[in-house]
A and B are shown apart, each in its own frame.
Chain A
Amino acid sequence: MSSERPVMLVTGARKGIGRYLVEHYLKKGYAVEGCSRGKADIESEFYRHHEVDVADEKGVRHMVGDITKRHGRIDAVLNNAAIASMNHVLLTPAKSANRMLEVNVTGTMLVCRDAAKVMMRRKYGRIVNFTTIVAPIALAGEAVYAASKSAVVTFTRILAFELGQWGITCNSFGATPIMTDMIKGVPQDKINAVVNNLAIKRLGTHEDCANVCDFFISPTSDNITGQVIYLGGVT
């Protein structure tokens, strides 16, 4: 079977930016499939939640298989799931570093891989992988997290070349700080310092994220691939 509605997969869908994007695309007429490690309370007949850790290869495969069985297609993937541990590198345990790499890099790769296998049969797909401005601005205290997100950007640039022939575009998006759980432990003066160095001196918003995603996943963006867009003037 094949859904009438375009089908989107959003990782890290339970809260924060992911949840906002789920609701945004439900309003835009998508059938949205979301995943996170925990349950979600998003209620819509066009939403299905999967309790999956993106770093779990088998779990991701089963989730994508289930989506394909029910919808027969995946049009867009927003790889938003990530974990951050904001520590000075001298205080970062290997376990914490490995977990960030596992979720942020391997998890992104697994979701892209299995979704792309479905997309390539229809010769159409849009993949947006989430990165962060803390990589290009080299923010002290986030070395491993930033490194994992730099890896996502490089992975995405090369993925664009590997999947382009099947009509699949792959782009990265880096938000400025947004008030979500991920940065709730970051001291306010540190957030202010980051914001004051931006061209646009304000926090990012969920709407900013949706705006960039709208552009990347538009059917008319079929010649936009391998790119990274950062908010706030960061390059």
Chain B
Amino acid sequence: MIARKDAYEIVIESLNEVFAQTGMPAPAALGEDTVLVGADPVLDSLGVVQLIVEVEQRVEQGHNISLTLANDKAMSARNSPFRTIGVLADHVVATAQEAAS
């Protein structure tokens, strides 16, 4: 299990790590509605790949939960679970719950 607040923080930290590693410009502010996938995203497609891996690794290291965020359910969902920071945080919580059950 992982608390929503912790999941949100992991996404923000991971996103900042991706900005630092790739040199992509970080927006002035990051929040629940910051777009990751869709119109006017803050990352390119490879940045999203890197973000997802970074989040997985941080969840595993910090919470001892091994999860795959790009699972079958996520990749076939009508609405991408990676579309905003808030939606991704929700997806982290849900996937961690599934992994624990």
CB of A128, distance to nearest CB on chain B (Å): 22
> How many residues of B are in contact with the other chain, CB < 8 A?
9
State whether A165 touches B46 (Cβ < 8 A).
Answer: yes
Contact A61 to B66, CB < 8 A, known contacts A120-B50, A165-B46: yes
Q: How far is the CA of A62 from the CA of B46 in the complex (A)?
A: 25
Beyond known contacts A69-B60, A165-B46: 9 more, CB 8 A cutoff: A61-B66, A62-B66, A65-B60, A68-B57, A68-B60, A117-B57, A118-B57, A121-B53, A121-B57
Task: Kindly identify, within residues 38 to 85 of chain B, every residue whose CB is under 8 Å from any CB belonging to chain A.
Answer: 46, 50, 53-54, 56-57, 60, 66, 68
Q: Which A78-128 residues have a C-beta within 8 angstroms of B?
A: 117-118, 120-121
Q: Are B53 and A117 in contact (CB under 8 A)?
A: yes
Interchain CB contact (< 8 A) of B56 among A57, A62, A117, A165:
A117
Sort A-B residue pairs by CB-CB distance and give the 9 closest, nearest first: A65-B66, A117-B53, A61-B66, A65-B60, A62-B66, A121-B57, A120-B53, A61-B68, A117-B56
Return 19 A-B CB contacts under 8 Å, by A number.
Answer: A57-B68, A61-B66, A61-B68, A62-B66, A65-B60, A65-B66, A68-B57, A68-B60, A69-B60, A117-B53, A117-B56, A117-B57, A118-B57, A120-B50, A120-B53, A121-B53, A121-B54, A121-B57, A165-B46
CB nearest neighbor in A for B65: A65
Question: Nearest chain-A residue to B68 (Cβ)?
Answer: A61
Within A142-166, which residues are at the interface with B (CB < 8 Å)? 165
Residues of B within 8 A of A57 (CB): 68
Give chain B residues whose Cβ lies under 8 Å from the Cβ of A118: 57
Taking the closest CB of chain A, its distance from the CB of B26, in whole angstroms, is 19
CB distance from A62 to the nearest CB of B (A): 6
Report Cα–Cα, A100/B34, bound state, in Å: 44
